[in-house]
């Protein structure tokens, strides 16, 4: 019973984690009347309040952390999280949630390519067709999302800006 129960809990928590992650794409759609900066600041204000509460509860352990570590952690948090979410919201607002989710979802492929640059395990020719297929799929999905019935897809400057913002999120530290 213990193993089955643990597996069940693992699946439930995995589903909850996935649903929570999806909120990062759903909330900007729901709050489309707010700017991407307002959405980002609201999200991280709440994270800050939760963190402050957490540190108040576990205060005895935070006294031993040097100030240079706190400042570096704050810098990384700002660049890596606030910057990431800001560009994610811009991507959703300009390119749409579907395309943004697809691009962010290509992160494992980006990691594979980057890892292969550092450690040449196999030739890059192997990755060209899958990478191009993903890009074509993203553009076709955008065209179908916009209701284009013809074979030609007209990309607006807003979409291209959103597409660029999505790729900026892929390059976060």
Residue 47: per-residue pLDDT: 81
The 8-class DSSP code of residue 149 comes to: -
| Bigger pLDDT: 42 vs 110 | 42
Alpha-carbon span 131 to 139, nearest angstrom: 13
> 112 pLDDT band (50/70/90 cuts)?
confident
Residue-wise over 97-128: b if at least 16 C-beta within 10 A, else e?
bebbbbbbebeeeeebeeeeeeeeeeeeeeee
What span, in angstroms and rounded, lies between the C-alpha atoms of 162 and 98? Answer: 12
| pTM of this structure | 0.55
pLDDT at residue 104 in the model: 76
**CB count, 10 Å around CB of 22?**
12
Q: Report the pLDDT averaged over residues 64-69.
A: 84
pLDDT at 64 exceeding the cut of 80: no
Q: What is the pLDDT of residue 172?
A: 52
In the predicted model, what is the mean pLDDT of residues 109-137?
Answer: 79
Predicted local confidence at residue 159, as pLDDT: 80
Please indicate whether residue 14 or residue 134 has the higher confidence score (pLDDT): 14
Report the alpha-carbon distance of residue 173 to residue 153 in Å, rounded.
Answer: 33
Long-range CB contacts (within 8 A, 24+) of 68-73: none
pLDDT above 90 coverage of the chain, percent: 1
- The three-state secondary structure class of 67 is helix
- With a CB cutoff of 8 Å and minimum separation 6, the contacts of 37 are 86
Residue 149: predicted pLDDT: 45
| Confidence at residue 78, expressed as pLDDT on a 0 to 100 scale | 79
């Amino acid at each position: 019973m213990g193993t089955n129960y643990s597996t069940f809990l693992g699946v439930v928590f995995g589903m909850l984690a996935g649903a929570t992650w999806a909120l990062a794409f759903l909330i900007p759609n729901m709050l489309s009347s707010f700017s991407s900066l307002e959405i980002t600041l609201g999200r991280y204000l709440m994270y800050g309040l939760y963190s402050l509460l957490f540190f108040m509860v576990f205060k005895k352990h935070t006294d031993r952390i040097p100030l240079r570590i706190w400042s570096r952690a704050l810098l990384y948090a700002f660049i890596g999280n606030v910057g990431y979410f800001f560009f994610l919201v811009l991507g959703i607002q300009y390119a749409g949630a579907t395309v943004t989710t697809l691009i962010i979802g290509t992160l494992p492929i980006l990691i594979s390519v980057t890892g292969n640059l550092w450690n040449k395990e196999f030739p890059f020719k192997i990755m060209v067709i899958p990478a191009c297929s993903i890009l074509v799929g993203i553009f076709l999905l955008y065209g179908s999302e916009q209701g284009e019935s013809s074979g030609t897809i007209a990309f607006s400057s807003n979409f291209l800006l959103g597409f660029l913002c999505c790729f900026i999120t892929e390059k976060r530290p």
